Amino acid sequence: MPAERLKAVCVFCGSSAGKNEAYVRAATELGTALVENGLELVYGGGNRGLMGAVAASVAERGGVVTGFIPETMTQFEGLQTVGTVHFVPTMHARKAAMAEASGAFVALPGGFGTFEELLEMVTWSQLRLHDKPVAILNTLGFYDPFLALLDRAVEDGFIAPVNRGLLIVKDNVPDLLAAIIDYTRPENAGYDLDWSKAPQPVVLP
C-alpha cells in the first residue's frame, strides 16, 4: 500500500491495561509513532486500559483521534473526552464504522472483543471485502498461542497457506508501522469475489 493512501489506523485493544506495564508502554509507543508518521487513530472510543493509553498518547501529541462507541458501552468503557467520538447504535455498526474510517488495522493485547474484531477484519480481507493490512503487535509474545493455532489450522487444511499471509505479525512498533505503510497484499490470497454483484438483503415482514 503506498504511504499516501494510508491516513488512519484502527487499533483494537483491551479496555483493561493487563498485568504487565509493557502492554501500556507498547500502546503509548504506538500512539506516539502514529503521530510521528502523520497517521490518525481510529478506535473503540473508551478511555480505559490500553484503549485509553493509545488514545491519550495520540491526543497529547496533537494527533487526530476518532472513536466509535455504542452509548450503552460507555457504562463500562467510559467516554474518551479528547478527539471526536461518534455514538453508534450497535456493536456491529461500531465495527463497520471503524472499518470504513480506517486504512489499516492493528491488534494489541486484549480479550474476547479484541480477538473478535481482529478475526473479523482478517476474514473480511480473505473474502475481499477490503484489501487493507491487518496486523498484530505481539508484545511479550502475547499472541504466540493464537499464532500456533493458526499454524495448526494451516497444517490441518482449514486455512490456505497463502491466506495465512494476510495477517502481519511484528513484535515492535517500528517494524509494524513499516509493514502496514509498505503493505502489498499477498498474491492470490483470499477469494476472488465481486461484492458489487451481491443481492440486496431480504427485508422480512
Over 60: is that where the pLDDT of 77 sits? no
Over 70: is that where the pLDDT of 79 sits? no
Per-residue pLDDT, averaged over 9-31, amounts to: 94
**Cα-Cα-Cα-Cα dihedral sign, residues 41, 42, 43, 44:** positive
143 vs 90, higher pLDDT: 143
Q: How far apart are CA 28 and CA 52, in angstroms?
A: 9
Residue extents of the structural domains in the chain: 3-89+97-182
Per-residue confidence (pLDDT) for residue 1, from 0 to 100:
41
Per-residue pLDDT tens over the stretch 149-199: 999 999 999 999 999 999 999 999 999 999 999 999 998 888 888 877 766
Per-residue confidence (pLDDT) for residue 3, from 0 to 100:
41
Please write down the long-range contacts of 140-146, taking CB distance under 8 Å and 24 or more positions apart: 140/20, 140/22, 140/23, 140/109, 141/171, 142/23, 142/109, 143/107, 143/109, 143/169, 146/115
Per-residue confidence (pLDDT) for residue 53, from 0 to 100:
94
Q: Which CATH class is domain 3-89+97-182?
A: alpha beta
Q: How confident is the model at residue 204 (pLDDT cuts 50, 70, 90)?
A: low
The residue whose grid cell reads 458501552 is 73
Per-residue pLDDT, averaged over 59-79, amounts to: 82
Q: What percent of the chain has pLDDT over 90?
A: 69
Per-residue pLDDT tens over the stretch 87-120: 888 888 888 999 999 999 999 999 999 999 999 9
